[in-house]
Structure 1
Amino acid sequence: MAEPKYVEILSQLRTRCADLAVGSKLSSERALAAEFGVSAMTIRQSLSKLGEEGWIRRTRGSGTYVSRPVVAMGPSLTSLTEDLRRLGLTPGAKVLRFEPVIPDLETTTILALRPNEQAVVLERLRTADGEPLCHEISVYPARLKQILSAADLTRSVHETLAAEGVVPYSTFRRVRAVVASPNESALLELPAGAPALEIVDTFSDALGEVVQHVRSRYRFDRYEVVSNIVRLPHPLND
Structure 2
Amino acid sequence: MVRRVSRLLGAAIGVMLVVLAPVSVAAAAPKPPPPGVDITGEGLTEPLRLRVETDAAHVTAVIDQVSWFAATGEASGPKAADLGPKYTVVVLAGDKAKQTFDLYPLAKGGPRAFRPAKQPDGRKARDGWFLGRLNMSETLRTAGVPLPRQVETVSGGVGGGERMIPEESLDPGRDLDEALGELQRLLLLNAGVVVTITIGLAGIALLIRRRTR
Greater share of helix: 2
**Greater RCO between the two (CA within 8 Å, min separation 6)?**
1
Q: Tell me, yes or no, whether TM beats 0.5.
A: no
Greater share of strand: 1
Q: TM-score, normalised by structure 1?
A: 0.27
Structure of higher CA gyration radius = 2
